[in-house]
Structure 1
Amino acid sequence: MRLNLFKIKLTNFMSKKFLPIAILTSLTPFTMASTTTENSVGYQNGFANISLNYFNWSQRAENKSAHTTGKKDFAYLELEGGTNFNWCELYGFFDVENPFHQRKTEPSKNQRYAVKTTGRFYLGDSSFNLYGHLYGIWSLPGYKYGGNFHEINTLYGFGYNFSLGDFWLKPFLALHYVDQTFYSGNNGYVIGWVAGYSFQLWSQNFSITN
Structure 2
Amino acid sequence: MKKIALLSAAALLASAPASAEYLYGFGNISVNYLDWSKNTQDRTGFQEDFAYLELEGGAGFDWGEVYGFFDLENVQDGSDELRTAYKGTIAYKIADTDFRLYGQHYATDSKGFAANNTVLGGQYRFQGDGWFVTPWVGAHMTITNPSWNDGFTGFNGGMFGWTAVYNFTAWDQKFWISNWHESEFARKSDYTDVSGETDDVSMNGALAFWWDATEHVTTGIQYRYAYNKLGTVGNQNAFIYSLRYNF
TM-score clears 0.5: yes
Aligned mate of 2:94, from 108, 123, 127: 123
1:195 aligns with 2:164: yes
1:80 aligned residue: 56
1:157 aligned residue: 121
1:27 aligned residue: none
Preserved CA contact (<8 Å) 2:134 2:162: yes
Name the TM-score, length of structure 1 as normaliser: 0.69
Give the number of the structure whose alpha-carbon radius of gyration is greater. 1
Runs of 4+ in 1 over 6 A off after TM superposition: none
- What displacement does 1:78 show? 0.7
Aligned residues: 155
- What displacement does 1:208 show? 1.4
Q: Which runs of 5+ in 1 are unaligned?
A: 1-39, 104-109, 140-146
Gap change, CA 1:164 and 1:45, over 3 Å in 2: closer
CA distance in 2, matches of 1:165, 1:83: 18
- Residue identity in the other structure for 2:68: G
Q: Which runs of 5+ in 2 are unaligned?
A: 1-18, 146-150, 180-247
CA distance in 2, matches of 1:123, 1:80: 26
CA distance in 1, matches of 2:48, 2:108: 16
Name the TM-score, length of structure 2 as normaliser: 0.59
- What displacement does 1:134 show? 0.9
CA distance in 1, matches of 2:131, 2:157: 30
1:179 aligns with 2:146: no
1:52 aligned residue: 31
- What displacement does 1:57 show? 1.9
CA distance in 2, matches of 1:58, 1:158: 35
Aligned mate of 1:148, from 112, 116, 132: 112
The 5 A counterparts of 1:103-114 are 103=80, 110-114=81-85
Aligned mate of 1:168, from 123, 127, 132: 132
CA distance in 2, matches of 1:85, 1:115: 22
Secondary structure of 1:41's aligned partner: coil
Larger RCO (CA under 8 A, 6+ residues apart): 2
- What displacement does 1:203 show? 3.5
- What displacement does 1:88 show? 1.4
- What displacement does 1:170 show? 0.8
- Residue identity in the other structure for 2:113: F
Preserved CA contact (<8 Å) 2:50 2:75: no
> Higher helix share goes to which structure?
2
CA distance in 2, matches of 1:192, 1:159: 9
- Residue identity in the other structure for 1:183: F
CA distance in 1, matches of 2:173, 2:92: 31
- What displacement does 1:128 show? 0.6
The 5 A counterparts of 1:2-13 are none
